[in-house]
Amino acid sequence: MHKIWLITKREYLSRVTKKSFIVMTILGPVLIALFYGVIIGLAVNQKTGEKTRTIAVVDSSGLFKNHLENPSKVEFIYTENDTTTLGKDIFGWMIIPKDFTLDNPKEIVFKSTESATLDLQGKLTNAVEASGKNQKLMQKGVRQSFLDSLKMEVQMKTLEISETGDLLSSQAELNFGLGAAFAFIIYFFIFLYGVQVMRGVMEEKTNRIVEIIISSVKPFQLMMGKILGIAMVGLTQFLIWIALSGILTGIISIFFASQIGSVPHNLPQAGNQIQAMNPILEAFFNLNFSFYIAIFVFYFLFGYLLYSSMFAAIGSAVDSESDTQQFMLPVTLPLIISFATSFSILASDPHGSMATFMSLFPLTSPIIMMVRLPFDPPGWELAVSMITLVLTFILFTWLAGRIYKVGILMMGKKPTYKQLFKWMLMK
Amino acid sequence: MSFLEINEVSKFYQTHKALDHVSLSVPEGSIYGLLGPNGAGKTSLIRIINQITAPDTGSITFDNEPLNTEHIYKIGYLPEERGLYKKQKVWEQMIYFGQLKGLSLAEAKKRSEEWLVKFDLREWKNKKVEELSKGMQQKVQFIITVLHKPKLLILDEPFTGFDPINSEIIMNEIKSLKAQGTTILYSTHRMESVEEICDHICLINKSKKILDGSVKEIKKQNSKNLFELVFEGIMPTWIEKISEEPTDEGLTKLVFKVKNMNRAEIIKRVANEVNVWSFREIVPTIHQIFIDKVQEVNHA
């Protein structure tokens, strides 16, 4: 164990002190934060960025002066005619004719240089109608205070009935995003670090360091030390990414929250607005992060261990990078297939038979189970998938160790599959 | 007393036999030359001693114990194909390999420092290996091999890649390690250095041992009773002439063979008949013996 530890330590330290590692580790979260910032920025700007428009009301009927309530993003001012501006940047003039009465509302006119959107037209007519209604009610003896108390704000959650009869909500969008993100990260990490294992093995083989090392340690110890060392590099990078991304996105969120807060009129509703604006964000904050991270780390670790033992075997069998291609494809195929199908699984049915099978099958489960995770797969499936993965990892590492042991000392001709199989059975 | 005993060791690979019932005995504190052409089985034998592979049959005794995993801490191995981590610092690398060979961190540091001073490499200690010249890399490799003070040192072609000056330094180190009691197994197919440093040799060809013993004995055994005589006078008739040529001084240089007579008798008889200017026995070089034996086996 002491030797595996020594090797793990060397593999770890020699990698985390590399410039490329440090750059990647810092750059990753910065990119993530930047991406987040742009998304939030766009969302926030759509709401707060819309300018408040000043509408001049030319009220010849005298019914509405100072009675119209400002709808959101609209401010009413009252003028005598349709040319006065009162020194303001007027978007348009709403002209209420002289013969307009509450019982006989005549057509009102809106004049503007830019055409008024349907949204704006609706807001203006609604304001007039609401004011007219209030005036009628007051004529019938309803008091102003009662009218004020009628105001209420209702929020709505939208649900969609899917083909299978399930209810989809904004949560679904979030789950989709999460599943896709998990699939990508696991795929990316297994590839990135698995290939590092392969390169490391090849480096030792072609540099002939391996003969010195295995005269001191068992080949299996060397292989495990390398695999574990690189796993720790991956975990270090991942944890730094999580921590740094968390901090950076936190800072960005606070920044935008303060921006929203600084807009007048909306002060009391600032918080509500963010929530209303983005139900996805709301769902996001309700997630069970520690659970997801724990499961993620498990699948990342064992998925990586499973594949990297195969990568180590490939690295040991060949002498040059170009010879690896032939062996890489069959090994990485399950990984590529699961990554490719993850999106269709997400889009169709995350609990279908295909998805269920792939999330239990150990060569595909690290990606597919993570894809399904946000959709709450049954606990027993999760357990079976995890146990199968661990058992397969043990079996594959043992087999890979046998190929590795023979391969690292074989120089020259590229072996065939048949030979690799023989190596597995060799004493 | 022998330090390393190889008994009837055989090793088979899928297609060929690498070692065929090889037995040899390496005396403690000696430099033992393991000779043989490329592909003879030397590396297979070395790997078995290093426990990189296991023999299919036969046994090995190390320091009077059956070879076991604890012995790897007492073996230092310099493979023919050298290798270091190119991107790692000299110093870190030495400590790492020292620790793999069972040294504590503190001890590995201390000894690395001593060796760096000895080999004049101190100012290079924080450099990456790839920044060093080839000769310096070889020195680092040598240090790594001996850092843990092995009782058995296995050197596979140790002088490849060294210039004459560095070869001399390494040669002196090898001799000094021997003086300190280290048993050295020296594998090579270059004969020049063998006679200089080896006490015993073993010749392996085509996976079989074809001869072994002390250098002196082997030379004696392989003596062909050839003599060289430079003389003035009439050629003796009782000798078996091999070649004859005149020298610049007007003398005759004769190479001849005599059976059933020792050197003293020959000198006496020759001196009676001719005017002797010089006389010597032509002792075969290890190089010659090597070539003869290998050809003998190959033609058989």
Nearest to A208 among B50, B79, B145 (CB): B79
Q: Does A215 touch chain B (CB under 8 A)?
A: yes
Angstrom distance (rounded) from CA B296 to CA B300: 6
Burial class (CB in 10 A: 0-12, 13-18, 19+), A219: buried
Reading the block at residue A406, the tokens are 């023979």
Q: Are A90 and A229 in a shared domain?
A: no
Contacts of B138 in chain A (CB under 8 A): none
Residues A182, A132, single domain; the answer is no
Same domain, A146 and A251: no
Task: Give how far A396 is from chain B: nearest CA, Å.
Answer: 22
Closest alpha carbon within chain B to A209: B83
B193 and B230 in a single domain? The answer is no
Helix (H) or strand (E) holding B252: strand B252-257
Please state the domain count of chain A. 2
Domain shared by A182 and A135, yes or no: no
B143 and B261 co-located in one domain? no
In a domain? residue A84: yes
Contact A212 B79 (CB under 8 A): yes
Residues A227 and A198 sit within 8 Å (Cβ to Cβ):
no
> What CATH code is carried by the domain that includes residue B148?
3.40.50.300
Q: Is residue A159 part of a domain?
A: no
Residue B292 domain flag? no
Q: How far is B269 from chain A (nearest CA, A)?
A: 59
Question: The domain that contains A141 carries what CATH number?
Answer: 3.40.190.10
pLDDT score, position A261: 54
Q: What is the mean pLDDT of each run of 10 residues along chain A (427 residues)?
A: 90 90 87 80 64 85 84 85 75 88 87 81 88 87 83 69 60 76 87 90 87 88 93 90 83 74 44 50 66 88 92 89 85 90 79 88 92 86 94 92 86 79 78
Pair (B201, B257) in one structural domain: no
Residue of A nearest to B77 (CA): A212
Question: Is B206 inside a domain boundary?
Answer: yes
Total domains in chain B come to 2
Nearest chain A residue to B50, by CA = A215
Final residue in a domain of this structure, among B215, B235, B260: B215
Closest Cβ–Cβ partner in B14, B81, B96 for A10: B96
| A32 belongs to a structural domain | no
Tell me which of A150, A184, A219 is where a domain ends: A150
Tell whether A155 is covered by a domain.
no
Among B266, B192, B194, smallest CA distance to B231 is for B266
Task: Assess whether A413 and A373 both reside in one domain.
Answer: yes
On whether residue B29 sits in a domain, the answer given is: yes
What is residue A158's predicted lDDT score, i.e. its pLDDT? 60
The domain in which residue B183 lies consists of 2-215
Q: Are residues A123 and A210 in the same domain?
A: no
Question: A-chain residues within 8 Å CB-CB of B101?
Answer: 216
The verdict on B208 and B267 lying in the same domain is no
Tell me: do A133 and A262 sit in the same domain. Answer: no
- Domain end residue (candidates: B198, B215, B232): B215
| A314 within a domain of the structure (yes/no) | yes
The last residue of one of the domains, among A89, A115, A150, is A150
Residue A140 lies in a domain: yes
Please check whether residues B206 and B253 belong to one and the same domain: no
- Torsion angle, alpha carbons of A313, A317, A322, A326, to 10: -70
Please indicate, yes or no, whether residues A290 and A391 belong to a single structural domain of this protein: yes
Q: Which of A17, A216, A217 to mutate to test the interface with B (most CBs of B within 10 A)?
A: A216
The residue among B191, B215, B239 that closes a domain is: B215
Are A238 and A320 contained in the same domain? Answer: yes
Q: What is the ipTM of this complex?
A: 0.80
- Residues contacting B213, CB < 8 A, separation 6+: B200, B201, B221
Gap from A14 CA to chain B (nearest CA, Å): 7
Q: Compute the nearest-CA separation of A204 from chain B (Å).
A: 8
Q: Which of A417, A330, A15, A406 is nearest to A200 (CA)?
A: A15
Same domain, A290 and A394: yes
Can you give the residue range of the structural domain that contains A92? 53-150
Residues of chain B with pLDDT under 70: none
CB of A96 closer than 8 Å to CB of A63: yes
What pLDDT is attached to residue A266? 40
Residues A184 and A135 in one domain: no
The reported pLDDT for the residue numbered B166 is 86
Distance (Å, whole) CA B183 – CA B167:
20
* Position A39 in a domain: no
Q: What single-letter amino acid sits at B73?
A: Y
Give yes or no: residues B124 and B162 share one domain. Answer: yes
A33 located within any domain: no
Query: H helices within A216-364, ranges in order?
Result: 219-261, 270-277, 279-285, 289-317, 325-347, 353-360
Could you read off the pLDDT of A266-281 as tens digits, one per residue? 434 444 444 444 565 6
Q: Is residue B293 part of a domain?
A: no
